[in-house]
Amino acid sequence: MRTILLSAILAALCASPAFSHGGQFKGSGDSAGGGSAASGAATPPATPGGAAGASAGSPASGAGGLRGGASGGAGQRGRQGKGPRTGGSVDFGPSYDGWEFWWDANKDRYLNLRNRVGAQKTVSGSFGALTGRGRNGPSTSSNRPTHDDIMQKILPDLLTLMATEDDRDILDSSILALARSVPEEGESTVVEAALPMLAHNELSVQTSATISLGVLGSSDAIDVLTALMTASSAGRRHVGGGEVPQFVRAFGALGLGFIDDPRSVQPLIDIVEKLPDSERDTKVCAIVALGLMDNERIGDAFPVLIEQLDNRRLDTFIKSYIPTTLAKMAGGTMRESIGPLLDVFNDRDTDNAVRQSVAIGLGRLATMDDTEVIDALSDYATGGRDVQTRHYAFISLGKIGARDDAPEQRRDAHDALVRLLANETTKPSTKSNAPWAAIASALYARGEAHRDAHPEIIDRLWWAYGDTKNASYRAAYVIALGLMDSREHAGALHTDFLESKDNDFRGYAAVALGLMGHEKAKLDFRGMVQNATVAPTFRLQLATSLGLLADGGAIEVLVNTLETAQTLGVSSAVAKALGLIGDASALAPLLAVANDDRKPTITRAFAAVGLGIVGERGDLPFNARISEDNNYRARVPAIDEILDIL
């Protein structure tokens, strides 16, 4: 599957060296992602030609129908991606330590643009009026697509497009767009359209069809996905004969997780227990799939995963996915995982990749009453040896504290946590802790129950912002202030945005101003979005802010930009931006572009991608559940590929 790999696109546009990449680290190529050279948090390696570690016959990294680069990638019949292979190894290089990569992986829930748009239908008032904070003011009414919009516009047009076009970019993008958007009564139609694509002569089309069957969520696809995952004789028939490609098997497993049927639990367990570690992608995807499930049989997976977590012969990178799956499955309610996870965290022989994942998992499961967890994470955050585990520990502490809706009953523990986060923001025990403590502070204090901590935390963040010239750290403080809706600082931040020449910082500042509902920035952002000289990365961040500000006027600007786009980077950024804003008014122009055979196929394919994002059934992108609280340091090509989808 050729996901829209913005980081690779941007790397290609900038003529930077091509490195192995296929992961979710879109860096500054995403709506609010990015690294600052000033921070040492450089964008992780990227390649236009192949997913990291893709074995022969596996798809090159590309995108929700489109490859991240003009060269294309591997087809099943022997056309392989050109990127070097790494075997999916974990890279512990310093460039991954930046907070930007955590934000990129987890931001969807905090931005939640689609929910904001849906809440604003026929509503007048500023963003503050919608959240109960801030001043009322004029706002453009906007709305998400309706059921009829999907069934009468997107479904028939994309089905026709798939029937009349043979370009792989258009096919990839269209089938996934349908899977993301079509309601239940249209599922059988999409299944019928996807099944023949499993035997397509391009591997990217096969993998797109496979994951689309899962994203669709139809029980009609269970038998097909199980056959593909297990590479049974039926699975081989589905792909047209011969072996079932590695990524098709892996995406078959993930698809079962998305559907969440009790009948799929045991087949996934069998993969985890019986498949050799050499088939890492499929095994990891089976583990991740279990984490997506919340049904009456999912408890059967608990003892198996605990046993595998204790298996010292298990591949480290496979094992690193177990803690986060334990924390996510059954809706995050399996608190019996806390004890085993804490034992692994405290074991000095635990590999860093696994301990990192445990730190993340404990952040989802523990409460402020779990004092041993709080102590272990606090001690590691301020004195642990592995840098990334320290950083994840800060985030987990912030999340644990935020979930407590009765902090007065544990006042001493909360006071200690606030002191820790505040001190590490302004006087960190290790310099690199500061931005992570800042983000963790904001996550902690966002809830109404923690309003008493707001003044101290905001004062610390604002002081830290003014005390450093490090662009990455300043950007972290800005995002933290945005998460806390610190509107009293919006005017000053707007001025800094206009005066700064660092587009990495400016992109995050724009997102923060959007979170604050700073209406005065709309015209500045809209003008920059339509400026052809503005880089795709920055343009996408500006569009994200316009979405947060409910700026319906940005739709026409973005559609015009898509129609005249001259580069892949601009096309992808605009398609993503239209989807992020999520307004139904974007459907007609996107459909017009997708159906216009006078336009380049890549532009038409990106329009199809935009349709899928605009029409998405849920509030968050379908892959947000995988991206959120994922240990992005433990890179496995199949997961990388899924997380690169726009």
Mean pLDDT by 10 residues, the chain (646 residues): 38 30 32 38 29 32 34 31 32 65 93 62 34 35 80 95 94 97 96 97 96 97 98 98 96 98 98 97 98 98 98 96 98 97 97 98 98 98 96 98 94 96 95 97 90 90 96 97 96 97 96 95 90 84 86 78 76 76 86 90 90 90 94 94 89
Give φ, ψ of 299 to 5 degrees: -60, -25
Compute the distance between CA of residue 211 and CA of residue 374 in angstroms, rounded to an integer: 38
Tokens of 612: 């899928």
> Which residues, in sequence order, are CB contacts of 204 under 8 Å at separation 6+?
1, 2, 59, 60, 62, 65, 67, 73, 74, 75, 168, 172
| Alpha carbon distance 205, 247 (integer Å) | 12
First to last CA, the chain: 12
Write a three-state SS string for 348-366. Answer: CCCCHHHHHHHHHHHHHHC
Model pLDDT, residue 83? 29
Please name the residues in contact with 231: beta carbons below 8 A apart, sequence gap of 6 or more.
243, 244, 249
Q: 311 by DSSP, 3-state: which?
A: coil
pTM of the model: 0.85
CA dihedral of 441, 446, 447, 449, whole degrees rounded to 10: 60
Closest CA to 91 of 637, 638, 480, 646: 637
Residue 536 pLDDT: 81
Q: What is the number of alpha carbons within 13 Å of residue 396 lying toward its C-beta?
A: 34
* Burial degree of 154 (CB within 10 A; 0-12, 13-18, 19+): buried
Pick the CATH number of 102-143+502-615 from 1.10.287, 1.10.3470, 3.40.50, 1.25.10: 1.25.10
pLDDT at 447: 75
| C-alpha atoms less than 13 angstroms from C-alpha of 601 in its C-beta half-sphere | 17
Residue with tokens 């963790």: 440
DSSP string, 489-549: GHHHHHHHHHH---HHHHHHHHHHHHHTT-GGGHHHHHHHHT-TTS-HHHHHHHHHHHHHT
pLDDT at 467: 95
Q: Which of 86, 89, 54, 87 is nearest to 73 (CA)?
A: 54
Of the CA atoms within 13 Å of residue 248, those in its CB half-sphere come to: 31
Q: What is the pLDDT of residue 43?
A: 32
Residue 549 CA to residue 113 CA, distance in Å, equals: 9
DSSP annotation string for 29-81? GSSS----GGGT-PPPP--TT--TTPPTTSPPS--TTS-SSTT----TTS---
Helix (H, G, I), strand (E, B) or coil at 155: helix
Task: Report the alpha-carbon distance of residue 640 to residue 100 in Å, rounded.
Answer: 17
DSSP state of 409: G
SS3 call for 134: coil
